[in-house]
Amino acid sequence: MTVPTSAQPLARRADAQRSIAAILKAAVNALSRDPDASVSDIAKAAGVGRVTLYGHFPNRADLVEAALAHAIDQGHAALDAVDLVGDTRQALTRLIDSSWLLVNQSRALLLAAQAVLPPSRIRDLHAGPVERVEGLVKRGQDDGAFRSDLSTSWLVGVMHSVMHTAADEINAGRLDPDQAAAFITATVLAAFTPPGRRVPA
201 touching a copy of itself, by CB under 8 A: yes
Count of beta carbons in the 10 Å neighbourhood of residue 165 = 15
To a copy of itself, the closest distance from the beta carbon of 99 in angstroms equals 16
The DSSP string of 116-184 is HS-HHHHHHHTHHHHHHHHHHHHHHHHTTSS-SSS-HHHHHHHHHHHHHHHHHHHHTTSS-HHHHHHHH
Nearer to a copy of itself, 66 or 167 (CB): 167
* Cβ partners under 8 Å of residue 190, min gap 6: 199, 200
Binding segment for a copy of itself (CB under 8 A), chosen from 10-18, 39-47, 74-82, 110-118, is 110-118
74 touching a copy of itself, by CB under 8 A: no
Q: Say how far apart CA 200 and CA 174 lie, in whole Å.
A: 25
* Cβ partners under 8 Å of residue 174, min gap 6: none
Query: Which 154-193 residues touch a copy of itself, going by CB under 8 A?
Result: 154, 157-158, 160-162, 164-165, 168-169, 171-172, 174-175, 183, 186-187, 190-193
60 touching a copy of itself, by CB under 8 A: no
By the criterion CB under 8 A, which residues form the site for a copy of itself?
111, 114-115, 118-120, 123, 147, 149-151, 153-154, 157-158, 160-162, 164-165, 168-169, 171-172, 174-175, 183, 186-187, 190-201
